[in-house]
Amino acid sequence: MQKEMAYSFPDEVLKHVFSFIQSDKDRNAVSLVCKSWYEIERWCRRKVFIGNCYAVSPRMVIRRFPEVRSIELKGKPHFADFNLVPDGWGGYVLQWIAEMAGAYPWLGEIRLKRMVVTDESLELIAKSFKNFKVLVLFSCEGFSTDGLAAIAASCKNLRELDLRESEVDDLSGHWLAQFPETCTSLVSLNISCLGSDEVSFSALERLVDRCPNLRSLQLNRAVTLDKIANILRRAPQLVDFGTGNYAAELQPDVFSNLAGAFSSCKELKSLSGFWDVVPAYLPALYSICPRLTSLNLSYATIQSPDLIKLVSHCPRLQRLLVLDYVEDSGLEELASSCKDLQELRVFPSDPFGVEPNVSLTEQGLVAVSLGCPKLQSVLYFCRRMSNAALVTIAQNCPNLTRFRLCIIEPKTPDYLTLDPLDAGFGAIVEHCKDLRRLSLSGLLTDHVFEYIGTYGKKLEMLSVAFAGDSDLGLHHVLSGCESLRKLEIRDCPFGDKALLANAAKLETMRSLWMSSCAVSFGACKLLGQKMPKLNVEVIDETEPPDSRPESYPVDKLYIYRSVAGPRFDMPPFVWSMDEAVKILH
């Protein structure tokens, strides 16, 4: 059968056909058809996505896919965003860069998320890849403006430099000036994370001037409002713009200059930045509001009336990020003005306050669910919720794919009935059949997990905190959620039973994180022994887990599947349960 296939479709034809197959899943399927398809496919795969940098080694990737042009890697577990993963845990990219430098001279794109990137890595990228085009460092750390200078200076055809939410050590503001005069290829530049002294504004202006294809520009906070007009006039073709500081003394000429500059940007669809907003300057945006599809005001400390005014000018809005200053009234206005809304994120302005500082409740979200039929993605911080509201939301928005609710005080019950919120979240998973991502909060028993296991068939990522009563909860999830890839749990009474009973499930997932739960050291060791394709890592910053009895619960546990075996760059506070690795370092 194989031979017939080979004769009827010469390699070149297959290669050509495969070149239309972009999705990794499809390519994986293709590679499993037969040996010759596997061979042909692997030689023509150009793009590789690795969701966990420790799941496979660079050498393995290189061996299988010799002609890669674009790579995407993710490092630390998601909970690292909330400081739950100690510094030094890992996620170093240097090894990858070093190996790829030799193997992929034509590598053009590197996208990293939650990884540790050093100046050395950046310098290596700069000198190893002659055709380097795209560097995205999302939520990365470990590098300084020196590394950026190397990239700017050497990458002659750089198209994208995106440092969103990364932590950069500022050493000198002049790295931007390192872009040679001949560099005119920039399409996207995101330097919003840089601190005040790190950007030479004149160099930025000159750069913007000579890059006619610049579509996306996110400035950093240090860029003052009066400078925005200068930039915009140099780049009227921008589609996506992030302001810096949006505050200044109200001056009519500055205002009209700014308004004029914005109105000259006929393609502008997406705005962000808006640190330190002076509301009087918001009307400068009115001319472009009708075209806006995405608005990130999540750093803007402006009050509801100003937000309402702005939002009512944006009928085409599809994506809104905002602080809870928007209040229920603002969300009601949003619901009536923005019928195309697909994504809403509401962040807390005072997350640690005990009393609410704004009038934002579950009502706001209910209003949006009623008014915006296309709503798909929700991230909502609030202080109270009810089952009734959740049921209403679920019924109004059956197309939800992402639902993340954070009721700020852990274990908060339904404020009307004082019941757990099991039924409410149950309604969400039951009605929203395409739900892929869910974050729970509030008072929750094992019942909610029963619902999730029963209905959450497409659920890929689940985040749980301060919930559940027993192992049964975890068992429902692990045994019921067929599509589950990432599970992260903190402060729940889940122990050994569910984990061991569903050990095999873990091999079908990318990773499992459990912290402040009740999984014993003994169970971790057992898992490590029995499941060679899993890396079972115990994190404990106070003392080695084997200095305590085996029944003692571990502090933090991170389990992920890997074909590369245990990693060798673990810091002293991470212990591998793999038998091949000594437990005591």
Partner 1 sequence: MQGGGGGGSESGSMSTVSRDENMVVSSEDSSCPDESGLELGLGLSLGGGGGGGGGGRQGGGFKMHHVSKGGPYARILTAKDFPSSSLSSSSSSSSSSPSLSKANVTAGTKRTAESVAVAANGSSQVVGWPPIRAYRMNSMVNQAKVLTMENRKKETSMVENSSIGGYRNDGNTKLKKSTFVKVNMDGTPIGRKVDLNAHESYEKLAKTLEDMFLETAPSVNPSGSTALQLDMLNRMTRHSKLLDGSSDFVLTYEDKEGDWMLVGDVPWEMFLTSVKRLRIMRKSEATGLAPR
Residues 68-127 interacting with partner 1 (rule: CB under 8 A): 72, 79, 81-84, 86-88, 95
Q: Which residues contact 223 (CB under 8 A, 6 or more apart)?
A: 199, 201, 204, 231, 243, 244, 245
Number of C-alpha atoms within 13 angstroms, CB side, residue 182? Answer: 5
Biggest distance spanned by C-alpha atoms of the chain: 78
Nearer to partner 1, 87 or 267 (CB): 87
Amino acid at site 428: I
Q: Which of residues 303-342 bind partner 1 (CB under 8 A)?
A: 303, 306, 325
Shortest Å, Cβ 105 to partner 1: 21
Q: Which of residues 238-267 bind partner 1 (CB under 8 A)?
A: 247, 249-250
Q: Write the DSSP string, 499-510.
A: HHHTHHHHTTSS
Q: Which of residues 554-573 bind partner 1 (CB under 8 A)?
A: 555, 561-565, 568, 571
Give Cα separations from 523 to 430, 547, 581 (angstroms). Answer: 33, 15, 17
Shortest Å, Cβ 266 to partner 1: 26
Shortest Å, Cβ 19 to partner 1: 17
Q: What does the block give as tokens for 10? A: 């010469």
Q: What does the block give as tokens for 291? A: 């075209």
Interface pick for partner 1 out of 183, 187, 280, 388 (rule CB under 8 A): 280
Shortest Å, Cβ 124 to partner 1: 17
Interface pick for partner 1 out of 339, 374, 433, 530 (rule CB under 8 A): 530
| Site map (CB under 8 A) of partner 1, residues 131-150, x = contact | --------x-----------
Q: Which residues contact 181 (CB under 8 A, 6 or more apart)?
A: 210
Number of C-alpha atoms within 13 angstroms, CB side, residue 327? Answer: 14
Interface pick for partner 1 out of 10, 416, 547, 585 (rule CB under 8 A): 547
Is residue 20 a contact residue for partner 1 (CB under 8 A)? no
The span of 3-11, 28-36, 174-182, 286-294 binding partner 1 (CB under 8 A) equals: 28-36
Q: What does the block give as tokens for 30? A: 């293709």
For residues 10 and 6, give the distance between their C-alpha atoms in angstroms, rounded to a whole number: 6
Q: What does the block give as tokens for 585? A: 């370092």
Interface pick for partner 1 out of 155, 317, 406, 452 (rule CB under 8 A): 406
Nearer to partner 1, 207 or 512 (CB): 512
Interface pick for partner 1 out of 133, 215, 234, 437 (rule CB under 8 A): 437
| Other beta carbons within 10 Å of 527 | 20
- Nearest CA to 424 out of 466, 481, 475, 366 is that of 366
Shortest Å, Cβ 362 to partner 1: 16
Nearer to partner 1, 298 or 395 (CB): 298
Shortest Å, Cβ 426 to partner 1: 20
Is residue 549 a contact residue for partner 1 (CB under 8 A)? yes
Interface pick for partner 1 out of 24, 130, 131, 267 (rule CB under 8 A): 24
Is residue 206 a contact residue for partner 1 (CB under 8 A)? no
- Nearest CA to 226 out of 284, 182, 184 is that of 284
DSSP 469: S
Interface pick for partner 1 out of 412, 505, 528, 575 (rule CB under 8 A): 505
Give Cα separations from 284 to 27, 489, 523, 560 (angstroms). Answer: 48, 45, 61, 50
The torsion angle over the Cα atoms of residues 48, 54, 57 and 62, rounded to 10 degrees, is: 10
Nearer to partner 1, 417 or 479 (CB): 479
Interface pick for partner 1 out of 70, 237, 349, 445 (rule CB under 8 A): 349
Is residue 193 a contact residue for partner 1 (CB under 8 A)? yes
Nearer to partner 1, 236 or 565 (CB): 565
For residues 446 and 234, give the distance between their C-alpha atoms in angstroms, rounded to a whole number: 58
